[in-house]
Chain A
Amino acid sequence: EAGVAQSPRYKIIEKRQSVAFWCNPISGHATLYWYQQILGQGPKLLIQFQNNGVVDDSQLPKDRFSAERLKGVDSTLKIQPAKLEDSAVYLCASTLSGPFSYEQYFGPGTRLTVT
């Protein structure tokens, strides 16, 4: 069974530029999560999708962050414009059914550096 795929693995941008991350969850997983993990901290949930609907985006900085999950499969997370404090690892995870159940399967993450 293929795992959660994310791309790119690394991205370096200058502040005020825009960036997008892509996630492909495990086939058949209805629930998808995006987390932000700042160096030295645990992951923090940014947004949770159930199929293509948003379940929780209470911690998403909506003035600069946006996310979508078209057709309830792949998802993209965008930052525009980026700030220095957005430097972090962005993790995508998925579960079989939700909104919350059992194990979340994580992707390898995208390390973003904003200079």
Chain B
Amino acid sequence: AQTVTQSQPEMSVQEAETVTLSCTYDTSESDYYLFWYKQPPSRQMILVIRQEAYKQQNATENRFSVNFQKAAKSFSLKISDSQLGDAAMYFCAFGAQKLVFGQGTRLTINP
């Protein structure tokens, strides 16, 4: 069974600074996807970034980038130039036959 672990229940960062959220996973699958989702207080899950496991190049979406280490089964999210609107719960998710989510990291942005 696949498992996803987010070891940081809460993180905080000063506005305009950079923060990294950690995620590790366990699987025997060779073909899969990894995702970071954002969930603001409105509860709507929003896709932040996606990584295909077969791609060696790390995915980047504007201020969001990942550090994907397949051998270490690690998938961290880096948010650059943090903005107040980035405050939310962030969930790492592993996807092969279905999506398996981590426990989440609550990110606070300090003005």
Contacts and interface: CB of A to CB of B under 8 A. Distances in A.
A100 B32 CA distance: 10
Interface stretch (B62-70, B72-80, B89-97): B89-97
Interface residues of B, number: 22
Given A56-B97, A100-B95, A100-B98, A41 B103 contact: yes
A115 B91 CA distance: 28
B98 A45 contact: yes
Interface string A29-55: 000010000001111110010000000
A108 B42 CA distance: 7
B84 interface: no
Interface residues of A, number: 22
Nearest to A91: B45
Interface of A: 33, 40-45, 48, 56, 89, 91, 93, 99-100, 102-104, 106-109, 111
Contact of A99 (B35, B42, B97, B102): B97
Contacts of B42: 108
Interface in B23-81: 33, 35, 42-47, 50
Contact of B97 (A33, A100, A104, A109): A100
A100 B96 contact: yes
Contacts of A48: 98
A33 B104 CA distance: 20
A45 B43 contact: no
A104 B99 contact: yes
A75 to B, nearest CB: 16
A45 B99 contact: yes
Contact of B102 (A42, A45, A89, A106): A42
Nearest to A111: B43
A106 B98 contact: no
B43 A108 contact: yes
A50 B98 CA distance: 12
Contacts of B44: 106-109
